[in-house]
C-alpha cells in the first residue's frame, strides 16, 4: 500500500488521512462492533480483512478522524475508462459516533475532493438496501437512488442481500 503523495482532507468536523498499517489496531474494535460487522465484510480474521482492505488494488484508503481519534474508514476507487469514468465510495463509522454528522462530513469531504481535485463528474455509493441511516446520510450529501442491486453482496453469515445504488453528479453536491 502506497500512501505517499495522498493528501490529507479536512472536513467541517472530520479529517481524512491516508490509512496506514498502524491504523489496524484502531480499526479492529470498530470492525468488531455488531453494527459494522453485520454490514461490512466480516470474516474469521478481521486483522487480515483490514490489511486486505489496505492492499486492495485500485482502492485509495483513508481513516476518518474525529478530534484526533480514528472513528472510521473511507475508501474510493475509480473506473478510469473514459466513456464510463466515475468514482465509488465505501465507508464505515464507529457506532459510538454515528448520528453526529461524522459519516455525512466524511462523504462530503471525499466527494468534494473527487470532484474538485480529481475531476470526477459522477460518484457512486451502494449501501445495503435496508440501511436507512446510511441512505439518509448519503442523501444529505446529494446522492440520489438509482435502483436496487439485487443480491449483490454476501453478508458475514453467508446470505446475499440487496444494495441500493445511489449516485451523485458533480453539480448535485450539497454543502
Q: Measured between alpha carbons, how far is 112 from 171 in angstroms, rounded to an integer?
A: 11
Band the pLDDT of 40: cuts 50, 70, 90: low
Q: What are the tens digits of pLDDT across the range 11-38?
A: 999 999 999 999 999 999 999 998 887 7
Check if the beta carbon of residue 45 is closer than 8 Å to that of residue 36: no
Mean pLDDT for the stretch of residues 47-54: 90
Grid coordinates representing 72 are: 472510521
Tally helices (H) and strands (E) across the chain: 5, 8
Check if the beta carbon of residue 39 is closer than 8 Å to that of residue 159: no
Burial of 94-131, coded b for 16+ CB within 10 Å and e otherwise, reads beebbeebbbbbbbbbbbbbbbeeeebebbbbbbbbeb
Q: What are the tens digits of pLDDT across the range 143-165?
A: 999 999 999 988 877 889 999 99
Mean pLDDT for the stretch of residues 90-100: 95
Sequence-distant contacts of 135-141: CB under 8 A, at least 24 apart: 135/164, 135/166, 137/103, 137/104, 137/107, 138/107, 138/166, 139/166, 140/104, 140/174, 141/104, 141/107, 141/108, 141/111, 141/168, 141/173, 141/174
Q: Which CATH superfamily is 9-126 part of?
A: Gcn5-related N-acetyltransferase (GNAT) (3.40.630.30)
Q: Measured between alpha carbons, how far is 43 from 164 in angstroms, rounded to an integer?
A: 23
Please give the model's pTM, rounded to 2 decimal places. Answer: 0.93
Check if the beta carbon of residue 41 is closer than 8 Å to that of residue 90: no
CA 56 to centroid of chain Cα atoms: 14
Amino acid at each position: 500500500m502506497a500512501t505517499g503523495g495522498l493528501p490529507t482532507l479536512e472536513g467541517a468536523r472530520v479529517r481524512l488521512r491516508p490509512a496506514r498499517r498502524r491504523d489496524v489496531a484502531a480499526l479492529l474494535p470498530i470492525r468488531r462492533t455488531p453494527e459494522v460487522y453485520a454490514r461490512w465484510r466480516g470474516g474469521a480474521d478481521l486483522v487480515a480483512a483490514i490489511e486486505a482492505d489496505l492492499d486492495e488494488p485500485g482502492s485509495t484508503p483513508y481513516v476518518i478522524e474525529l478530534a484526533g481519534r480514528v472513528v472510521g474508514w473511507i475508501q474510493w476507487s475509480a473506473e478510469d475508462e473514459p466513456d464510463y469514468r466515475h468514482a465509488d465510495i465505501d465507508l464505515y463509522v464507529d457506532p459510538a459516533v454515528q448520528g453526529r454528522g461524522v459519516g455525512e462530513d466524511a462523504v462530503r469531504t471525499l466527494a468534494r475532493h473527487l470532484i474538485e481535485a480529481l475531476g470526477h463528474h459522477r460518484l457512486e455509493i451502494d449501501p445495503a438496501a435496508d440501511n436507512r441511516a446510511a441512505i439518509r446520510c448519503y442523501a444529505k450529501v446529494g446522492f440520489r437512488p438509482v435502483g436496487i442491486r439485487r443480491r449483490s453482496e454476501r453478508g458475514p453469515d453467508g446470505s446475499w442481500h440487496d444494495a441500493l445504488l445511489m449516485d451523485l453528479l458533480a453539480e448535485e453536491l450539497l454543502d
